[in-house]
């Protein structure tokens, strides 16, 4: 049962306030989209939730515990970052990329993949219906396939909160549709999905909730279809409502 609480979060960079008093909570089964113009602070929120940055003020709780005091492995078994599926360093097989999720959570204790690690990776691939890719080289996959593999890696990690930063970037239209469908299914399966996106129209259909950020401040939080009205989006991005059709 995942429960993320973000409380009065503020963050500065180079003496400049990047986030100001941001608060929200989310539970298992919720898909929350974070939207806002470039530089609004979306990625900074994700990096704080992943404990890659330390807040200047405020705190973040996962399942009731402040993340700053958690052991790294404990944190990794609760929250997983799904990067965009672009950078490819080595031609690993898909099944090995997925099994690497077990390393992050500390359940894989040696550099060799155990039967238990392999089973967890297999389950994650089955969950996402990508078992047929298991022996392919990750480097040879399409962007959408890579994204699915990285989500499977997060599931193998055991985390129930998935954090994604503009996951649609670089994917063609069909792959974007499949990705967002997958995110919706994962929320339906009880995962908590927190994603930034620059696609308000899709977000309104796929996510249960949307949070709007402007210059580091939250200006809306509520059901995605309500928050992402044409008027709200026009005002957020600063263009006349008549342009959106």
Ligand X SMILES: Nc1ncnc2c1ncn2[C@@H]1O[C@H](COP(=O)(O)OP(=O)(O)OP(=O)(O)O)[C@@H](O)[C@H]1O
**Which parts of this chain interact with ligand X (CB under 6 A)?**
13-14, 18, 36, 38-44
- Around Cβ 112, how many Cβ atoms within 10 Å? 7
Residue 161's nearest CA partner among 99, 75, 98, 222 is 75
Least distance to ligand X, CB of residue 234, Å: 18
Nearer to ligand X by Cβ, of 183 and 236: the residue is 236
Say if residues 178 and 184 touch (Cβ distance below 8 Å). no
Nearer to ligand X by Cβ, of 42 and 78: the residue is 42
Give me 117's structure tokens: 């690690």
Helix, strand, coil % over all residues of the chain, rounded to 5: 40, 25, 35
Q: How far apart are CA 190 and CA 84, in angstroms?
A: 22
Nearer to ligand X by Cβ, of 120 and 236: the residue is 236
Nearer to ligand X by Cβ, of 34 and 76: the residue is 34
Give me 20's structure tokens: 């100001």
Least distance to ligand X, CB of residue 44, Å: 3
Least distance to ligand X, CB of residue 117, Å: 33
165 bridge partner residues? 196
Least distance to ligand X, CB of residue 213, Å: 7
Least distance to ligand X, CB of residue 149, Å: 23
Nearer to ligand X by Cβ, of 145 and 168: the residue is 168
Distances (CA, A) of 195 to 1, 183, 244: 19, 9, 23
First to last CA, the chain: 41
Nearer to ligand X by Cβ, of 44 and 77: the residue is 44
Least distance to ligand X, CB of residue 168, Å: 12
Least distance to ligand X, CB of residue 176, Å: 17
Nearer to ligand X by Cβ, of 15 and 111: the residue is 15
Distances (CA, A) of 167 to 23, 44, 136, 179, 183: 23, 16, 22, 8, 10
Q: How far apart are CA 74 and CA 162, in angstroms?
A: 15
Pairing of strands 57-62, 3-13: antiparallel
């Amino acid at each position: 049962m995942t429960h993320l609480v973000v409380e009065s979060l503020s963050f500065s960079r180079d003496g400049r306030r990047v986030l100001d008093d941001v608060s929200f909570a989310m539970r298992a089964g919720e898909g929350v989209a974070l939207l806002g113009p470039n530089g609004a602070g979306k990625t900074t929120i994700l990096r704080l939730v992943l404990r890659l940055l330390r807040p200047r003020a405020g705190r973040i709780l996962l399942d009731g515990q402040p993340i700053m005091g958690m052991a790294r492995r404990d944190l990794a078994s609760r929250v997983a970052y799904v990067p965009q599926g672009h950078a490819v360093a080595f031609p690993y097989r898909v099944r090995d990329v997925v099994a690497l999720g077990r390393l992050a959570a500390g359940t894989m204790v040696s550099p060799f993949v155990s039967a238990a690690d392999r089973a967890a990776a297999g389950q994650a691939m089955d969950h996402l219906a990508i078992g047929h890719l298991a022996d392919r080289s990750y480097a040879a996959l399409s962007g959408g396939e890579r994204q699915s593999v990285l989500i499977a890696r997060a599931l193998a990690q055991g985390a129930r909160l998935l954090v994604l930063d503009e996951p649609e970037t670089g994917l063609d239209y069909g792959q974007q549709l499949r990705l967002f469908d997958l995110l919706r299914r994962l929320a339906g399966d009880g995962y908590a999905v927190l994603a930034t996106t620059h696609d308000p129209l899709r977000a309104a259909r796929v996510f249960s909730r949307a949070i709007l950020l402007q210059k580091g401040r939250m200006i809306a939080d509520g059901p995605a279809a309500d928050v992402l009205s044409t008027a709200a989006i026009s005002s957020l991005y600063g263009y006349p409502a008549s342009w959106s059709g």
